[in-house]
Every structure is written in structure tokens, then in C-alpha cells.
Amino acid sequence: MRPQLIIALDVDSLAQAQKIVAELGNAIEIFKVGSQLFTAAGSESIKNLQAQHKKVFLDLKFHDIPNTVASAVKAVVHLQVFMYTLHTVGGKEMMKAAAEAATQASRDLGVPRPLGVGVTVLTSEARKENLRDLVLERASLAKEAGLDGVVASVEEAGFIRREFGKDFVIVTPGIRPAGTEVGDQKRVATPAEAVRQGSNFLVVGRPVLQASNPQEAVEKILAEFG
């Protein structure tokens, strides 16, 4: 799987999101809709991207009792997004319920099953002594539960790739091109390092959204992919 760049539409309105997508043209295929945009614009934010033939990474980090999360994931399948997130701290039973709900709903509707990825530890969290072991433990639970992969920083990506093989999806947030500010992220990496460590999807937000020329910023990031 060739690494792909996902642009995070962490903006306050659908109009702002549309502006970014228009500025980037055909350079980006996948866009992230997170809690900020989804709260502001709801499912219209997803439908608008799909109308422009873009794929949607729905990053709402579901975390609740298994039945509630399973119901939410069924709704995700109806929206026909490409990939969605849930928190691994919700436990194996919750993740398994989500994976099974996604499979069954996609069969019932006759649509592709979205990739389900579990958030291990947020990249805004500071380093801890046992962080690597914690991430690997949560990644193992996600795999056992039937999820397609995990969200993890580049610091853990290499270990996850070696432990779980080439087919386990790794989504890496906290990507900062060389020379850009870290912001509130604690565990960041350049695009080149993330690719070297085996990440499949690299998520970038502010370095593109706050750039004077977003398209040029994307081109520079893609050039770092090697």
C-alpha cells in the first residue's frame, strides 16, 4: 500500500472546508472530517466531499458502551466513508462490536466496508516510560477485535509494523514537515520519517490550513514522501 496524505479539515464551517478542498484541487484524495467540522456542519460535510469524488476519513473517536458504538458505526456505513476511528481504551468488546457492525451493515447495504482504526495514545500526550508497550498492547487488542489498524505516532509505527505485518493499517497524525512549528503536539515527525517507519496514511492539518499557499505546502509534503 503506497503511503497517502490525508488533509485534516479542522475548520469551523463547511464554507471554509470547501475553500480548502477547492484550493488543493486534485492533489489530495482523502480528507479528514473531525469533531470540529462535524459538529458545525454534520453529515453535509461528508456528503459535500463525496460529491467532489473525495474519500472521507471520519475521525470522531467513538468511545462508549459496545451497543452504542455499534449503532454509531452502522450509521457510518450508511454515510459510506472510507475510514473511521474509535478509541482502543473502550476495550476489546467495544471494538469487536464495532467491527462486526461495520461488516454486517456493509453486507446489508451492498457497499464497501469502511476501514476501522483504533486510536492508541493521542499524539498530544507526553512521552511515558511504558508508552511503547501500552501502544503495542492496545494495537494487539484492536487486531484481535477485528479492526483494520490503529492510529499511532511515528515513534510507535515501526514497532507496530514489525509486530503486526504489512496488512495492518497505520494512520499517523502529528506530521510536521521539516521547519514547521510543533504546536500542541508532543510526539511529531516529518513525512519522510513516517513513511520510513511504515505509516500508510499521514494526517496533516495546520501546516497546510495555515499556509499562505496550501497547494504549495501539500506539494512540499508529498515531495518528502520520497
Map out the domains of the chain as residue ranges: 4-223
Q: Where are the beta strands (DSSP E) in 120-216?
A: 149-151, 169-172, 201-204
pLDDT at 194: 92
Helix axes 214-223, 14-24, angle to 10 degrees: 60
Residue 187: pLDDT band by 50, 70, 90 thresholds? Answer: low
Better-predicted residue by pLDDT, 185 or 188: 188
Give the 3-state secondary structure of residue 4. strand
Average pLDDT score over residue span 117-130 = 76
Q: Is 61 noted as a catalytic residue in this protein?
A: yes
Residue 142 in this model has a pLDDT that exceeds 90: yes
Q: Which of 32, 47, 55, 61 is catalytic?
A: 61
- Whether residue 94 contacts residue 144, with contact meaning beta carbons closer than 8 Å, is answered with no
Residue pLDDT, tens place only, 194-225:
999 999 999 999 999 999 999 999 999 999 88
pLDDT bin (cut points 50, 70, 90) of residue 129 is low
**Closest Cα partner for 186 from 101, 119, 128?**
128
Residue 182 scores a pLDDT above 70: no
For all residues of the chain together, what is the average pLDDT? Answer: 92
pTM of the model: 0.92
- What would the CATH number be for the domain defined by 4-223? 3.20.20.70
- What number is the average pLDDT over the span 48-63? 98
* Cα–Cα nearest to 214, from 52, 56, 81, 17: 17
